[in-house]
Chains A and B, each alone.
Chain A
């Protein structure tokens, strides 16, 4: 069974630009969550999508958005990039999210904003 796939693995963008990251969950998994990981802040929850609907949202500005498609693939978008958005963005899939006890993470997308 293929794991969680995130593309691209690395990205360099300029301040003010926007970026779209992609996540393909494990086949059959319907929940996709996104996290931002930085050295000082650890993994911070961005949002979770389940069956194409945003089910939970973290404490991030509206510049961060996402969506999920009918095949459970998910994208997240960051508009008007700031230097502080430089981070590793991880997505995690699980069968149902919520009380599902195990989440499977992708390798992440390393975003650098210059």
Chain B
């Protein structure tokens, strides 16, 4: 596609529910990143994929968060047993390979009520 696409753009869920956020990177980009941005803050790193494998998941806050990229293209960020503190904008980015220019999607605004 022309850019990084994230769906849904907004998600409201009840505390304790499970959510999935989807990212469709730029075609041909092998590197894919997930970040989380709270209001008034810069984005914070969650996980980095090179191809199908998670090369660095050091930013995932706890084991309720999990991400996959089974075919090396689309990625899904999965959050179990959501908490109100998970409310944030979740941003996905892709780049041709690691340490090259990153391009971001529009984000998914997650609200846990």
Does A pair with B? Answer: no
A contact residues vs B (CB 8 Å cutoff): none
